């Protein structure tokens, strides 16, 4: 393996001719589509170098990035012990495969044991993966996925046979299985949420229960005749859409959930008023649940999730419909939780991790968020780092790895103290980040 | 001149070794300074190539960038007719020189006729330059600068002689002169505002009056014992700090200013409640005055300035003190104007121009804002483009020219329909942008 030394500036001079060929010129003028929305900007992410790469960041110079390629739209990862006393990385691919990487090498054979009825379409499919907190003893693995509805045809017709009628959206489902060292066994759906094209992340809390997000999208774009945002699903306590749920590790409802026994409320609900949560993490100091949520056009949020609280979507927020009007007239209301941090313009955040290891003392307790934004040239996918004061108020955020022009889907701290990223690309990769000196 | 073809990705591989040597490693851990603020990230902008450069943007592929180097902290520019029927570009340098560029070539000799008492220190010095709307007839040129207070020593002591006592801040002053084709003559201060280390931009309105901004900084950072933000200078109608002013072209007050004759109000005031305005432009369709304003840590704003209105600083806003707490508890209030657009995190905007020319049909009536943000590696200085719908609601913003890693101080459309930029660098440059194909 040859190490490329790139001093923070970088870049892929060797591949630019290829990139230029791949990127068609955009069509037409600035307001060509639908009388209002701007045209899409078509610019594929350039191929990654093989690595390892050495690049500078604001505080750590350089970092070393080892790259494992061959993943197709990787979505989430979990770390399982391997036979040698180290660990291997399980990676979900949205299309419906579970892969394993050992010592930086992707096993060409997917892991057996996933549910057979994963419906991969749009942004849906195989989603998050998490280990039970007592995984060392019970080997339990939890996965969220979109389950094909009974009787529905497979979503992706064979090539050349046309699209047919669109399949109904898959049902966001929590499945539990057991890792036997080479595959998943005893796989069983333990909770069924709702049909949805949006995402679902999961996170175990310190009390052994888990939080599961159920995404909801946008209300209709027209301003006139909209349904009242205050009665839409994310605000409706009888619905699971646009919520986080709290469940026991067998998928049942804990007796101490905030709305248990309250008429008109689903007892699974932990928090209300979310759009599409794409990252969950435990604050290592306070123990609080933090989340990151995609806004519409602007208004991406980091939130601290407190049981029973309402986070406002789509009643309050800082985003806009893609045709221009604000989604919410008010950026905040007294009875709705303001974000810990937000982004305007959007970065399309996905993946969330606090760094708690010893390998990057400069990053201790910093928060990392992946960015998947498209529509800019060069591509604006990157990794965002937050530094907070002792009250968890934001001090600074640093956009990192913009040189790579890769959309970042997931961020995890591995058992070895390295920071692991997954790129949200068809030709996706695992990036393993450690200090470069 | 050799043309570099850079396909939007790229950059400056040849200079990275130099850059790495220039960038010292940051000191210490994530919370090393003052018990709360993060350490500064020291990363000089890399040198620009000589150009011309061909690079891709989202909608225009490629653009051609011609580069004129040799400017030291250039701040603003104006276009004056030259003898050949074309135009030359006058450029202010913050340090106190007025330069001229003809056909892409910087004249090594500065222009004569500036005031002798420009006080360049901190971020202050020679600021904005604008031509009178009837410049073709009257040759009048307007400039803002920080004027050394009477009796104060020059701000910059000779090298090696120490700093001595800091000079009191210069007084923001509007000066008018006449361009005789080679120099400024008949130069006269026509309005004196306040001592301030903050910026001042000027803009002529369609009625022949001009708007002049007078920047104000941050209230004290501690949360306890702060003065009431509602009585601080930007909210105090008896003070000029944190305001825009409207003046006649001789520096006197128009009789139809919003607060003329109102007790307790300075009659010069056009709008209230600003932090530090670093760009002013006329919306070419509506005729409204638009501004761009630096927030503290987050909360940079684009505003539409309406006479007599209050834009909220420091009572409302989306920014934070550098130690973490929000400056304003509320992001908005009913009697204060919300921004047209804002940024969180900050981009440190400077320079504002609507593109109205024919050379970039894709950018017609788009808004361009320079970005000067520091503290990221690679440097995050860039040019931001906004596209709006017919109600001037934001559709999209595109971060452009990030590859160059240059902070952008000013943006203007030149008489030839090209877009001109100035970089906010010690080794600054004029960038002339035209279609590349």
**Six-digit token string for A211:** 């939080």
Q: What is the DSSP string of A220-262?
A: PS-STTPPPGGGSGGG-TT--TTEEEEE-TTSPPPTT-TTTT-
B15 contacts A11? CB cut-off 8 A: no
Count each helix (H run) and each strand (E run) in chain B, helices first: 2, 26
Q: Look-up: residue for tokens 């701040």?
A: B75
Pick from B43, B50, B46, B44: which is nearest to B6 by CA?
B50
Residue B390 to residue B369: CA distance in whole angstroms: 20
Contact A41 B391 (CB under 8 A): no
Q: How many residues does chain A have?
A: 437
In the block, residue with structure tokens 């937050």: A386
CA distance A389 to chain B (A): 6
What whole-number distance in Å separates Cα of residue A109 and Cα of residue B321? Answer: 52
Rounded Cα–Cα distance for residues B165 and B170 (Å): 15
Contact B59 A36 (CB under 8 A): no
Q: Which residues of A touch B23 (CB under 8 A)?
A: 8, 56, 61
Please indicate if any CB of chain B lies within 8 Å of the CB of A82. no
Q: Which of A210-219, A266-275, A288-297, B381-390 has the lowest mean pLDDT?
A: A210-219
On whether any CB of chain B is under 8 Å from the CB of A23, the answer is yes
| B260 in reach of chain A (CB within 8 A) | no
Distance CA A328, CA A322 (A): 13
More confident residue, A310 or B298: A310
Q: Rounded to whole angstroms, how far apart are CA atoms A339 and A291?
A: 10
- Can the peptide bond before residue A314 be classed as cis, meaning omega within 30 degrees of 0? yes
Rounded distance between C-alpha atoms, residue B309 and residue B270, angstroms: 8
pLDDT of residue B146: 98
Contacts of A224 (CB under 8 A, 6+ apart): none
Task: Give the residue from chain B lying closest to A325, CA to CA.
Answer: B393
Residue B153 banded pLDDT, cuts 50, 70, 90: low
Residues in chain A closer than 8 A to B331 (CB atoms) = 331-332
Furthest CA-CA distance within chain B: 63
Cβ pairs bridging A and B (under 8 Å): 212
B87 beta partners: B81
CB proximity A30 to B under 8 Å = yes
DSSP state at residue B267: T
- A262, A391, B243, B318, B341 from B315: Cα distances, Å: 40, 22, 14, 10, 18
Distance CA A263, CA A256 (A): 15
Closest in A7, A41, A59 to B58, CB measured = A41
Which of the four pLDDT bands, split at 50, 70 and 90, describes residue B376? confident
- Looking at residue A101, what is its pLDDT? 98
The verdict on a CB contact (< 8 Å) between A19 and B41 is no
- Among B154, B197, B155, which residue's Cα sits nearest to residue B172? B197
Say yes or no: A133 contacts chain B, CB-CB below 8 A: no
CB < 8 Å from B in window 337-366 of A: 341-345, 361-366
Which of B6, B9, B40, B360 should be substituted to probe chain A, the one whose Cβ sees the most A Cβ atoms within 10 Å?
A: B9
Question: What pLDDT, on a 0 to 100 scale, did the predictor assign at position A35?
Answer: 47
B106: three-class secondary structure by DSSP = strand
pLDDT tens-digit readout, A94-129 = 999 999 999 999 999 999 999 999 999 999 999 999
ipTM above 0.95, yes or no: no
Higher pLDDT, A353 or A40: A353
| Alpha carbons B141 and B179: distance in angstroms, whole number | 7
How close B394 comes to chain A (CA, Å)? 5
Q: Which of B30, B319, B329 to mutate to test the interface with A (most CBs of A within 10 A)?
A: B30
Interchain CB contact of B378 with A (< 8 Å): yes
Is pLDDT larger for residue A424 or for residue A153? A424
Q: CB A158: neighbour CB atoms within 10 A?
A: 7
A368 touches chain B (CB under 8 A): no
Q: Which residue of B has its CA nearest to A45?
A: B9
- Residue B87 CA to residue B420 CA, distance in Å, equals 13
pLDDT at A3 over 90: no
Residues in B 276-335 with any Cβ partner in A closer than 8 A: 297-298, 318, 320, 322-326, 330-332
Please give the share of chain B, as a percent, with pLDDT higher than 70. Answer: 86
Segment A149-155 mean pLDDT: 72
pTM for the whole thing? 0.91
B61 to A36: CB separation less than 8 angstroms, yes or no: no
- The CA distance from A372 to A199, in Å, is 14
Chain A contact set for B40 (CB, 8 A): none
Strand partners, A301: A293, A342
Rounded CA-CA distance B228/B170 in Å is 26
Judged against a pLDDT cut of 80, whether residue B98 lies above it is answered with yes
Angle at A53 between CA A281 and CA A88, to 5 degrees: 50
Confirm or reject contact between A398 and chain B (CB < 8 A). Answer: yes
Q: Which residue among B7, B30, B389 places its CB closest to the CB of A364?
A: B30
CA separation for the pair B53, B5 (Å, rounded): 6
Q: Does A391 touch chain B (CB under 8 A)?
A: yes
State the smallest CA–CA distance between residue A70 and chain B in angstroms. Answer: 23
Residue A330, pLDDT score: 77
Whole-number Cα distances in Å, A283 to A288, A356, B422: 5, 10, 43
Cα–Cα distance measured from residue A234 to residue B332, given in angstroms and rounded to the nearest whole number: 24
Helix, coil or strand: residue A157: coil
CA distance linking residue B384 with residue A110, whole number of Å: 43
For chain B, the residue count is 437
Judge whether A244 is closer than 8 Å to chain B, CB to CB: no
Which position has the token pair 């603003």? B76
Judge whether A292 and A347 are in contact, CB under 8 Å: no
Interchain CB contact of A183 with B (< 8 Å): no
Which stretch of A32-46, B21-35, B322-336, B359-373 has the lowest confidence by average pLDDT? B21-35
Task: Please check whether residue A43 touches B, CB under 8 A.
Answer: yes
- Map tokens 């996918």 to a residue: A381
Q: How many CB atoms lie within 10 A of CB A272?
A: 25
Distance from the first to the final alpha carbon of chain B: 18
**pLDDT, position B221:** 62
Phi, psi angle pair for B19, to nearest 5° = -60, -45
Of B41, B378, B396, the CB nearest to A403: B378
Q: Is A283 exposed, middle or buried (0-12, 13-18, 19+ CB in 10 A)?
A: middle
Task: Assess whether pLDDT exceeds 60 at residue B225.
Answer: no
How far does Cα B178 stand from its chain's mean position? 23
The answer to whether B395 contacts A322, with C-beta atoms less than 8 Å apart, is yes
> Is B191 an interface residue toward A (CB < 8 Å)?
no
pLDDT category of residue A223 using cuts at 50, 70 and 90: low
pLDDT value of residue B37:
61
DSSP letter assigned to residue B58? S
Tokens matching residue A341: 């941090």
Residue A1 CB neighbours (<10 A) = 8
Q: Does A380 touch chain B (CB under 8 A)?
A: yes
CA dist., res. A111 & res. B370, Å (int): 50
Phi, psi angle pair for B184, to nearest 5° = -90, 135
If you search the block for the tokens 């995402």, which residue do you land on? A199
pLDDT grade, residue B322 (50/70/90)? confident
- What is residue A44's predicted lDDT score, i.e. its pLDDT? 83
Mean local confidence (pLDDT), B127-143: 98
User: Is the CB of residue B38 less than 8 Å away from at least one CB of chain A?
Assistant: yes
Handedness of CA B231, B232, B236, B239 (dihedral sign): positive
């Amino acid at each position: 393996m040859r190490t490329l030394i790139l001093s923070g500036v970088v870049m892929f001079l060797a591949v630019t001719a290829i990139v230029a060929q791949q990127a068609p010129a955009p069509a037409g003028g600035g307001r060509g589509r639908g009388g209002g929305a701007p045209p899409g900007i078509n610019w594929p992410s350039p191929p990654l170098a093989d690595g390892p790469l050495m690049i500078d960041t604001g505080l750590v110079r350089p970092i070393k990035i080892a790259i494992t390629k061959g993943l197709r739209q990787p979505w989430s990862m979990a770390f399982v012990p391997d036979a040698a006393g180290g660990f291997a990385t399980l990676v979900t691919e949205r299309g419906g495969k579970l892969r394993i990487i050992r010592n930086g090498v992707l096993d060409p054979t997917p892991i057996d044991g996933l549910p057979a009825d994963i419906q991969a379409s749009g942004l849906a499919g195989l989603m998050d993966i998490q280990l039970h907190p007592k995984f060392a003893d019970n080997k339990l693995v939890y996965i969220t996925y979109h389950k094909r509805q009974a009787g529905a045809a497979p979503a992706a017709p064979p090539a050349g046979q046309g699209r047919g009628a669109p399949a109904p959206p898959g049902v966001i489902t929590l499945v539990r299985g057991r890792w036997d060292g080479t595959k998943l066994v005893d796989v069983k759906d333990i909770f069924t949420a709702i049909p949805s094209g949006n995402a679902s992340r999961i996170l175990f809390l310190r009390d052994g229960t888990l939080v599961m997000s159920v995404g909801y999208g946008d209300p209709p774009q027209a301003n006139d005749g909209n349904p009242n945002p205050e009665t839409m699903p994310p605000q409706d306590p009888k619905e699971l859409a646009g919520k986080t749920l709290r469940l026991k590790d067998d998928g049942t409802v804990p007796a101490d959930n905030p709305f248990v026994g309250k008429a008109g409320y689903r007892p699974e609900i932990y928090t209300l008023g979310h759009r599409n949560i794409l990252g969950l993490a435990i604050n290592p100091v306070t123990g609080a649940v933090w989340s990151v949520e995609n806004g519409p056009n602007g208004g991406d949020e980091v939130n601290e999730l407190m049981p029973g609280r309402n986070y406002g979507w789509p009643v309050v927020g800082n985003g806009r419909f893609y045709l221009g009007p604000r989604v919410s007239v008010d950026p905040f209301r007294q009875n709705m939780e303001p974000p810990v941090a937000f982004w305007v313009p959007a970065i399309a955040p996905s993946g969330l991790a606090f760094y708690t290891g010893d390998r990057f003392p400069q990053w201790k307790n910093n928060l990392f968020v992946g960015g998947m934004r498209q529509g800019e040239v060069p591509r604006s996918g990157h990794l965002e780092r937050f530094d907070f004061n002792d009250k968890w108020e934001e001090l600074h955020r640093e956009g990192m790895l913009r040189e790579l022009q890769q959309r970042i889907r997931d961020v995890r701290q591995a058992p070895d103290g390295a920071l692991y990223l997954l790129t949200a690309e068809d030709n996706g990769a695992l990036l393993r980040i450690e200090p470069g000196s």
